[in-house]
Amino acid sequence: MSSARFRPILVTVASGFLSTVQPARAVDAPPPIPTPRPASLPVSPLGPEGRFDLIFADEFAEPELSQDRWTTCYWWDNNGCTNLGNKELQWYVPQNIRVEDGTLILTAKPEEVIGHEGMTFPYTSGMVTSGRYYEEDLSDTRFSTTYGFFEMRAKVPSGQGLWPAFWLLPDNHTSKPEIDIMEVLGHRPGVLELHYHYKKANGDVRQKGHEIETDDLSKNWHVYGLEWSSEEITWYLDGEELWRIEERELISNVPMYLIINLAVGGNWPGAPDESTRFPAELKVDYVRVWQRSP
């Protein structure tokens, strides 16, 4: 393991949409209707001990992306979207999302496209979220939860400028807190990035982060997991605990939704270069969310 390292704050707001923020659902609100569990699914996530109930799952067994579980952009979708706060180079479009042989595939490729306010983006890519679009009501959120174990089995791409991630944001359309279950910078696929961004009581934004040195994550499939409770946040890789935050006063208690994306470029990873191979693909075998049994 290497020492902790912090990255620039991931800004997740876009101009013109802040007026659409709606109140968060109460913390003790009932959880969403559970996704039926196929007989083949395990009875608990990989890593933690104890009893769990499955409350959300997508095995990507259907021929197309489930519109009941996923949207294909941030909530400020406007014929596509991006993250301007990071100065990312991709424009997310649904055409770069497909389900094939039980696998969700998000594809990044060089493709010039006009996006936000007439800006030109040199790449397109794909993302999915379990949230909602800005014109939808809070009740239209596909899936969000307060606390749980979040698990994804995926194969990440490598290459300068590529930035796959699996993370959580509040379903009230604010940008903090943010829990990054996993992030990998394509130019160093042997390092797993773990981060938590939060606001202090006075409104100051702070972050905690950790780097874990691993084998090249792009060579094989891996299971990325995180348990979020009122007491701690714990990160896992292939069932092995990697890091935890135990300062209870820092831990979020608002409902959060899922995001999976393949970014290109930006302040942190830098732009692709001649060594980057396109098209690049983030492949996802499944996504599952559990809650501990009472």
Kindly list the catalytic residues. 178, 183
- In the chain, the amino acid numbered 63 is P
Helix (H, G, I), strand (E, B) or coil at 53: strand
Parallel, antiparallel, or unpaired: how do β-strands 148-155 and 103-114 relate? Answer: unpaired
Q: Are 266 and 10 in contact (CB under 8 A)?
A: no
Helix (H, G, I), strand (E, B) or coil at 26: coil
| Burial of 275: CB neighbours in 10 Å, binned 0-12, 13-18, 19+ | exposed
Residue 212 pairs in a beta bridge with 192
Q: Are 150 and 94 in contact (CB under 8 A)?
A: no
Which residues, at least 6 apart from 220, have a Cβ–Cβ distance to it below 8 Å? 155
Separation of alpha carbons 204 and 214, rounded Å:
33
- In the chain, the amino acid numbered 181 is I
- Concatenated DSSP letters of 137-192: -GGG-S--BSSEEEEEEEE---STTEEEEEEEEETTS---SEEEEEE--TT-TTEE
Q: How far is CA 192 from CA 9, 43, 75, 137, in A?
A: 17, 27, 27, 35
Q: Which two tokens stand for residue 228?
A: 């979020």
